[in-house]
Amino acid sequence: MLSARGLFQEIFDNDASFRLFCSIAASGEAQGGWENGRIAALVPESQRGLSHKIVRHGADEDKHGRIFNALLRKRGLDPVDVPGDTDYTMLLEARGIGLAHEKLRADQRLSERDIVAYLAHSRVTEQRASEQMQLLRKHFADHPDIGKAVRMISSDEDNHLAYCHEELLRLAAAGHGRTIQRILRESALAEIKVYRDVSLAVMDRMGRILGWSRARSAVLAAGIHAVYAYERLGGWHRMVSLRMPERRDALGGPASAAPEFA
């Protein structure tokens, strides 16, 4: 019988599949770190109070990238190039989710609407990140090799999600409510498609590395399609709701160090 724990354990136990898993994760986190760093540098004057939180967000993402690379080094492995069809971040950008890299590479200040869009996009993607890390934490929090990394990254992702909720509610109260809801809906519907496609691509590669049978690969693919069907029918609503988080000012302080990994 297939289970999330068994599936991830199989991936983690094999050097080639673990190498691909960590390489994909490290690349996405490093990209997120760069994006947040550029956004922090280009924040408009009307939102300068957010700068230190965006810097903290980017520092956390950079830290996560270092952690995944450190996990590779611990097993004597080097990162591999990330296949284009597994690059979640870039595929989201291609669908208009996240601020365009062309805009972030320029030296022109962002608009307040850009910040609204950034936070709305982040609220959707951080929901996914938080859920994925909670799943790993559920099964591997006490794992001798990856448990500490899983716990640390999961806590950070929960903080990022809380930050997005709090700041979007602030901006909604300032008159951006309709724009926020529109962007959240568009982002969620685009994200669930990208997540489905990336999941299928990753599982296809993992299956080839691990020698899965056609039947097993077909079952996993059917499961991914079933998740997408659920999300398309209504599951996406969890990505667009806003509520004041229990963790207030979650990114108000400096990023925590990870000397045991970096």
Where along the chain do its domains lie? 4-239
Is the domain 4-239 a CATH 1.20.1260.10 member? yes
pLDDT at 259 over 70: no
- Please report the pLDDT score of residue 150 as a whole number: 97
Mean pLDDT of all residues belonging to the chain: 94
Mutual angle of helices 147-171 and 112-140, in 10-degree steps: 150
- Please report the pLDDT score of residue 262 as a whole number: 43
Residue 96's pLDDT band (cuts 50, 70, 90): confident
Is there a contact between 156 and 57 (Cβ–Cβ < 8 Å)? no
Is there a contact between 224 and 32 (Cβ–Cβ < 8 Å)? no
Summarised one tens digit per residue, pLDDT across range 131-187 is 999 999 999 999 998 999 999 999 999 999 999 999 999 999 999 999 999 999 999
